[in-house]
Amino acid sequence: MNTTQQRLVHFKPELNSETTAWVSIRTYHYDPPRPPQPINHRRVLHQNAIDTWSVMLKRGWRPCRAPAR
């Protein structure tokens, strides 16, 4: 979550891939108390998702619990 940008990013491993580990990354606009609004969705390789998260942490993003729907 990045409160400055009002963005929430959800990383979710995709279990249907047999040979390659993919991760689904979904980005939302989040302005509490409103529910998150989807912005985009993409699939990346597992290692690329790890690299993306590492960069996000360095830029001020923080882990959080998923908002209640």
| Global confidence as pTM | 0.82
DSSP state of 13: E
Asked, for residue 33, whether it belongs to a domain, the answer is: yes
At 41 the pLDDT is 97
Q: How many domains does the chain have?
A: 1
pLDDT at 16 over 90: no
pLDDT at 13 over 70: yes
At 37 the pLDDT is 95
Q: Which helix (H) or strand (E) holds 24?
A: strand 22-29
Q: Which residue has the higher pLDDT, 24 or 65?
A: 24
Asked, for residue 2, whether it belongs to a domain, the answer is: no
Query: Can you tell me which residue has the tokens 């390659």?
Result: 20
pLDDT in tens, 33-69: 898 999 999 999 999 999 999 999 999 999 988 766 5
Helix (H, G, I), strand (E, B) or coil at 10: strand
Asked, for residue 1, whether it belongs to a domain, the answer is: no
Count the neighbouring beta carbons within 10 Å of the beta carbon of residue 67: 14
d(CA 12, CA 44): 10
Q: Which structural domain range is residue 11 located in?
A: 7-58
Tokens encoding 49: 């998702």
